[in-house]
Amino acid sequence: MTPTLTMATATRVLQQIRHDHRTLGLMLIMPCVLLGLLALIYQNTPVFDSIGAPLLGIFPFLTMFLVTSIATLRERQSGTLERLLAMPLGKGDMVGGYALAFGLLATVQAVVASGFAVLVLGLDVAGSAWLLLLVAVVDALLGTALGLFLSAFAATEFQAVQFLPAFVLPQFLLCGLLVPRDQLPTVLQWISDVLPLSYAVDAMQTITSYANGTAQVLGDVAVVLCFVLALIGLGAATLRRRTP
Amino acid sequence: MTGAIGAVEYHEAVSATRSARHNERSWVMNWFDRDRAEKSAPRVRASTHGRHELDRQLAIRIEALRVVRGGRTVIPGLDLTVRRGQLVGLLGPSGCGKSTLMRSIVGVQKVTGGSIEVFGQPAGSSGLRSRTGYLTQQPSVYQDLTVIENLRYFAKVIGLPRKKLDDEVSRLLNQVDLADHASARAGSLSGGQLSRVSLAAALVGAPELLVLDEPTVGLDPVLRRDLWSIFRRLTQAGVTLLVSSHVMDEAVRCDRLLLMRNGTMLADDTLRGVLESTGALDPEQAFLTLVDRAAARQTAGQAEGDSGVGGASQARGGVPA
C-alpha cells in the first residue's frame, strides 16, 4: 500500500461522484427526507425522540452500503479494475482509496443528516449531539466497509442489490430496534451479538436515553470500528489480481 | 503500405507457392526451416550463458502454457517467444483464446500450468507492472470522468511524479489525437474516441511492452491506419507490441503473425511466409487453409497414433483441444 496511490484513488472516486450530481444529491438529501417523514408520522408523540437516533444510524449505513457495492461492482465490470491490477496499484490502495473517499462522503452525509435531525426536526436526545454525530459517521463507514467486502461476491448488479435484503435487513431485524435485544430468543441474541449493526444501534439507544453513557457509547463505537477495519482488510484480501 | 500487400510482393508470394505446391512435403520442410531460422534462435538452450544472452533480447517467453477456464481448456499447451521490438499480430476468431493469452501475459489470468516470463521475470511480477501497458478488449476507462482526469489518474498509478503529469497527459492526448476532447466526459465520446482514450491509458508512462487486445476494433479505416502507424513508430523506439485482432486484414501491418484457433497456434510466421505456405491470396484464406490442414493433421495423427508432425510449436496444433 502506497499513500500517494491510495490518495490518488480516493481523489479519483470523489471526482467520479462529483460529476454525478444526482447521486450526490440523493446521498445527502434522502436521509434527511426519511427522517423528516418519520418526524411527521410520529408528530405529537415521543416516538420520534426514541427511534430517531437509531434510524439516524441506520439510514446512512443503508445508502453507503448500496453506493459502495454498486461503485466497486462497476469498477469490476468496466474492466478498469483489471487494468489497475495489471498496473502498479496495490490491493490495499484500491480498497483503501474507496474507503477513504466514501468515508469522507459518509461523514458529510452523517453531518447533514444529524444536523437536520437535531436543528430542524428538533430531535431531543439525552446524550451529547456530538456523540450522535460520531456514531452516525461510524455507522456510515460500516455501510461502506460492508459494501466494499460484499461486492467481491457479486457478479452482477442484480446480485449486488439482493445483498441488501440478504445481509443488511437481517441485521436491521436483529439490531434491537423492533424488539430489545435482551428479549430476543437466545439463539437470535447470540446472532445479534456478532452483527455490527447491533452495536451501532446500542450506541444510539444509549445516547437517546442516558446523559452519562459516553463510556458505553465509545465502547460500542470501538466495536463497530473494529468491524469496519476487519471488513476493509477482508475486502483487500479477497481482491484477486488473477481471475479465472 | 496500406490496405493490402504490394503487387510485387504478392506475385512473389503466389509464384513461390505454386512451385512449392508441386511437392507438398518440400514446402512443409521449407516452412519449418525458415521458421526455425527466423525465430528458433531464442529457443536454443545450449548453454546457460547463451540462454542468458538470449533472454536479454526476449520480451516474452512462454513455455507449455495451459489455461483452463470454467472447466473448459482454453489453451491446452502453448510455447511462444517474442523478441524485443517486434510488432506481433495475434489473429484468430473470437473465442480462440487471444484474450486469455494476453491476460496471462500481463498476469491477471489464473494459469493452470506452464511458465510465462516477461523481460526475464515471471509474468505479473510487481516489477513488470509499470513496464507493461495493457489494453483490455472493452474500453476500460471511467466514463464519468473527463479524458484528462482519466489519464491523470492512470499516470499517477504508474508512479509519475506530480510535476510530470501535465506533460505526460498532453503527450498521450496528441499521440491518440484527442487533444480537442481533453475536457470531455469519456462517456460522452463516440465509440472510436473512447477506445482511443483507453489506448492512451495503456500508453501511460511509455511502457516497454504493450499488450493490446483488439485496439482497432470498430474504428474507421483512417483511424486504424493512424493507430498502426503509432504502433510502428513505437516498435522503432524499441517497444514490443502484441496486438490482437479478429480482422485478418490487419495481418499486413505486423512483423510476425500468430494465427490462433482453439488455443493453439496454427501458424507463426510473416505474412509472406503464411501466404507462401498456404498458397492463399489473402490472410483470411490462408487462415482457412491452415484450419483445414490442422483438422486433417489431427485426423491423420489420431490414425497413426499421434506421432506428431515437425518439431516446432505448430505441431501442437495436432493435440486434441
DSSP secondary structure letters along A1-39 = --HHHHHHHHHHHHHHHHH-HHHHHHHHHHHHHHHHHHH
**If you count residue pairs, one on A and one on B, with CB atoms under 8 Å apart, how many are there?**
82
Q: How far is A241 from chain B (nearest CA, A)?
A: 5
* Contact between A78 and B156 using a beta-carbon 8 Å cutoff: no
Residue B60, beta-bridge partner list: B82, B118
What CA–CA distance (Å, rounded) separates B272 from A160? Answer: 51
Given 3-state DSSP classes, what are the helix, strand and coil percentages for chain A, each rounded to the nearest 5? 80, 0, 20
| Residue B31 pLDDT greater than 60, yes or no | no
| Residue A106 pLDDT greater than 70, yes or no | yes
Q: How many CB atoms lie within 10 A of CB A11?
A: 17
- The C-alpha cell at B177 is 489525437
What CA–CA distance (Å, rounded) separates A88 from B202? Answer: 13
Q: Which residues of A touch B136 (CB under 8 A)?
A: 79, 82-83
Provide the pLDDT for residue B176: 87
Mean residue pLDDT of chain A comes to: 91
Q: Where are the alpha helices (DSSP H) in chain B?
A: 7-21, 24-39, 48-57, 98-106, 147-157, 162-175, 191-203, 221-236, 271-278, 283-303
Proportion of chain B above pLDDT 90, given as a percent: 44
Mean pLDDT of B195-221: 90
| Residue B313 pLDDT greater than 80, yes or no | no
Provide the pLDDT for residue B238: 92
Binned at pLDDT 50, 70 and 90, residue B57 comes out as confident
Mean pLDDT of B1-5: 41
| Residue B120 pLDDT greater than 80, yes or no | yes
Mean pLDDT of B132-152: 94
Mean pLDDT of A71-85: 90
pLDDT tens-place string over residues B239-263: 999 999 888 788 888 989 999 989 9
Residue B67, beta-bridge partner list: B75
Q: Which residues of A touch B149 (CB under 8 A)?
A: 12, 15
Binned at pLDDT 50, 70 and 90, residue A154 comes out as confident
Provide the pLDDT for residue B224: 86
- The C-alpha cell at A218 is 465509545
Binned at pLDDT 50, 70 and 90, residue B50 comes out as low
8 Å CB contact between B66 and B112: yes
ipTM: 0.88
Q: What does DSSP say about strands B121-122 and B240-245: parallel, antiparallel, or unpaired?
A: unpaired
Q: What is the Rg, in whole angstroms, of the alpha carbon atoms belonging to chain A?
A: 18
Identity at A140, one-letter amino acid code: A
Q: How far is A24 from chain B (nearest CA, A)?
A: 13
pLDDT tens-place string over residues A114-131: 999 999 998 888 888 899
Question: Cα-flanking dihedrals φ and ψ of residue B135, to 5°?
Answer: -110, 115
| Residue A225 pLDDT greater than 90, yes or no | yes
Proportion of chain B above pLDDT 70, given as a percent: 77
Mutating which of B74, B99, B137, B153 best tests the A interface, going by the most A Cβ atoms within 10 A? B153
Q: What does DSSP say about strands B87-91 and B72-83: parallel, antiparallel, or unpaired?
A: unpaired
* Residue A45: burial class (beta carbons within 10 Å; 0-12, 13-18, 19+): exposed
- The C-alpha cell at A42 is 410520529
Q: Is A120 left (phi over 0), alpha (psi -120 to 50) or beta?
A: alpha
Provide the pLDDT for residue B314: 43
| Residue B228 pLDDT greater than 50, yes or no | yes
| Residue B27 pLDDT greater than 50, yes or no | no
Contacts of A35 (CB under 8 A, 6+ apart): A52, A55, A56, A59, A113, A116, A117, A121, A123
Q: B207 touching A, CB under 8 A? A: no
| Residue B26 pLDDT greater than 60, yes or no | no
Contacts of A90 (CB under 8 A, 6+ apart): A1, A2, A5
Task: Name the residue with cell 495436432.
Answer: B318
Element (H, E) at A167: none
* Contact between B145 and A12 using a beta-carbon 8 Å cutoff: yes
Residue B80, beta-bridge partner list: B62
Contacts of B115 (CB under 8 A, 6+ apart): B61, B62, B63, B64, B65, B122
Q: What does DSSP say about strands B58-69 and B87-91: parallel, antiparallel, or unpaired?
A: unpaired
Provide the pLDDT for residue B302: 75
Q: Higher-confidence residue: B313 or B170?
A: B170
Provide the pLDDT for residue B294: 84
| Residue B309 pLDDT greater than 50, yes or no | no
What CA–CA distance (Å, rounded) separates A68 from A144? Answer: 6
Mean pLDDT of B273-289: 88
Question: Cα-flanking dihedrals φ and ψ of residue B66, to 5°?
Answer: -135, 125
Mean pLDDT of B75-100: 91
Mean pLDDT of B54-61: 83
* Contact between A86 and B143 using a beta-carbon 8 Å cutoff: no
Mean residue pLDDT of chain B comes to: 80
Provide the pLDDT for residue B48: 56
The number of residues making up chain A comes to: 244
Minimum-distance CB partner of A82 among B129, B140, B158:
B140
Provide the pLDDT for residue B304: 67
Most confident of A157-161, A179-183, B143-147, B245-249: B143-147
Q: Higher-confidence residue: B191 or B64?
A: B64
pLDDT tens-place string over residues A7-31: 999 999 999 999 999 989 998 998 9
Mean pLDDT of B211-218: 88
Q: Which residues of A touch B (CB under 8 A)?
A: 4-5, 8-9, 11-12, 15-16, 19-20, 78-80, 82-89, 241-244
Say how many Å lie between the first and final Cα of chain A, rounded.
24
Provide the pLDDT for residue B246: 82
DSSP class of B237: T
What CA–CA distance (Å, rounded) separates B215 from B140? Answer: 12
8 Å CB contact between B74 and B48: no
Provide the pLDDT for residue B172: 93
| Cα separation values, B60 from A179, B232, B233, B243, Å | 64, 19, 20, 14
What CA–CA distance (Å, rounded) separates A17 from B64? Answer: 45
Mean pLDDT of B3-10: 42
Q: B131 touching A, CB under 8 A? A: no
Provide the pLDDT for residue B92: 87
- The C-alpha cell at A191 is 446472532
Provide the pLDDT for residue B52: 67
Residue in B with minimal Cα distance to A244:
B110
pLDDT tens-place string over residues A25-64: 998 998 999 999 999 999 888 888 888 889 988 988 998 8
